[in-house]
Amino acid sequence: MTDHQSQGQSKPHVAIIGAGIVGICSAAFLQREGYRVTLIDAEDPGTMTSFGNAGAISPHSVTPMALPGIWKNVPRWLLDPLGPLAVRMDYAAKATPWLIKFMAAAKSYEAQAAALASLHRPVREAYLELTGDAGASHLLKQTGSLSVYETEAGFQGDVLMRELSRRHGHTVEELTGDELRQLEPALGPQFVRATYFPDSTHCINPGDLCQRLVAMVFAAGGEHIRAKVTGFETGADGVTALRTDDGQRHAFDHFVVSAGAWSHRLSAQLGEPFPLESERGYHMVLPHPGFETSRPISFGERKFMCTMMEPGLRLAGTVEFAGLEADPNWGRADKLLDHARQIFRTVDVGDAKPWMGQRPSTPDSMPVIGRSKKHANVAYAFGHGHLGLTGGAITGQHITSVIAGREPAIDLSPFSIDRFSR
């Protein structure tokens, strides 16, 4: 048994289950408030899904994935060999309940957009509070981001996304194909329209960002238990301890569940089930593509992104429903190379490096952030879906307020763990 509880000491000890970007940032902000922190993860911090994202830190990302009429696109996406969506046949029945909730969430998209807008508005500022001390400021670039379209119909199909961003105070510029090519000359001639978000920030090496932040946490006394959490012990005042797969029992004062796509398995053990699904995503890194882009580019019809990073050009996207245990389907990553050959004037795809990660996705595109409804010393911070890097630092700030017993800076009720069970 290991006892990490304060037992009268001045600094309560917080167990943060999950060492991705959300858990790392939560640890960093909790330390600034005087808490001792221990990250618990079977893997090295920051090496899983937080490593492989497209690098966007996007305050303008307020549009939920489920919008009215999205169901009309699903058959076309599933039938398209280069399409953005795949559901493995042996997992379809398991994915169906989540997909039904996803479709139903479309009717509440305006409320979801308002909640996401309140959460994402200060995301850059939240990172700047940490990156200077971590020696990571150079990894963040504010050159804006682009959404580009090969057809006028595709551009018009995203009009609601632009309207929602504008409605919540973000600058949105609409560009012609010629104006787009002045910004990104490597793109092919087929792009006819674009949307430019000048306030967007991106990270040129998400893996390095995680490593620098976690090094700062460790330098300030933070610890890492390399193990998988298998269960909890509870008492009259909340959770008293957790158990790990190495047979150990660890007692703490507070607990944060931030285990990405595995978080719902832990919340269910705490009596708070939640409909979380893994949207498996793939990326390819082209180490020497033959050109550089200046900002993240999202391809409207193709539903993936590219970002120039320190290791090379990262092509990231696609959604695959296959569960947490299935082996990767590297054919999904190979399709990104097919896209690259079609969208750039010339591109070298030699030595491409594939990767797969598990996005923790909720039916309404909103993360779970806030205190447990059953255990006063437990907080939840998971379910950021496609926006984990965007929401990492700001979620850490809110979790720190929750643990400290302060009123958070925004209303966290839309992000409650029990919103699907009321």
Tens of pLDDT, residue by residue over 14-48, are 999 999 999 999 999 999 999 999 999 999 999 99
Q: Are residues 14 and 31 in the same domain?
A: yes
Average the pLDDT over 178-183 and give the result.
97
Per the domain annotation, does 118 fall within a domain?
Answer: no
Q: Are residues 160 and 93 in the same domain?
A: yes
Per the domain annotation, does 172 fall within a domain?
Answer: yes
Q: Are residues 195 and 301 in the same domain?
A: yes
Per-residue model confidence (pLDDT) at position 1: 59
pLDDT tens digits, residue range 95-146?
Answer: 999 999 999 999 999 999 999 999 999 999 999 999 999 999 999 999 999 9
Q: Are residues 270 and 252 in the same domain?
A: yes
Q: What is the CATH number of the domain that holds 341?
A: 3.30.9.10
Strand pairing category for 238-244 and 229-235? antiparallel
Per the domain annotation, does 341 fall within a domain?
Answer: yes
Number of structural domains found in the chain:
2
Q: Are residues 381 and 345 in the same domain?
A: no
Q: How far is CA 218 from CA 45, 190, 257, in A?
A: 11, 49, 19
Band the pLDDT of 85: cuts 50, 70, 90: confident
Per-residue model confidence (pLDDT) at position 236: 87
Q: Are residues 43 and 143 in the same domain?
A: no
Q: Are residues 153 and 185 in the same domain?
A: yes
Q: The domain containing residue 156 runs over which residues?
A: 61-106+139-203+276-361
Q: Are residues 33 and 147 in the same domain?
A: no
* Residue 8 clears pLDDT 60, i.e. is over it: no
Work out the mean pLDDT of the chain and round it to a whole number.
95
Prediction pTM value: 0.96
Per the domain annotation, does 133 fall within a domain?
Answer: no
**Domain edge (last residue) among 361, 387, 406:** 361
Band the pLDDT of 6: cuts 50, 70, 90: low
Name the region of 18 (left: φ>0; alpha: ψ -120 to 50; beta: rest): left
Per-residue model confidence (pLDDT) at position 76: 76
146 phi, psi to nearest 5 deg: -125, 145
Q: Are residues 265 and 291 in the same domain?
A: no
Q: Are residues 102 and 176 in the same domain?
A: yes
Q: Are residues 97 and 163 in the same domain?
A: yes
Band the pLDDT of 71: cuts 50, 70, 90: confident
Measured distance CA(120)–CA(391) in Å, rounded? 7
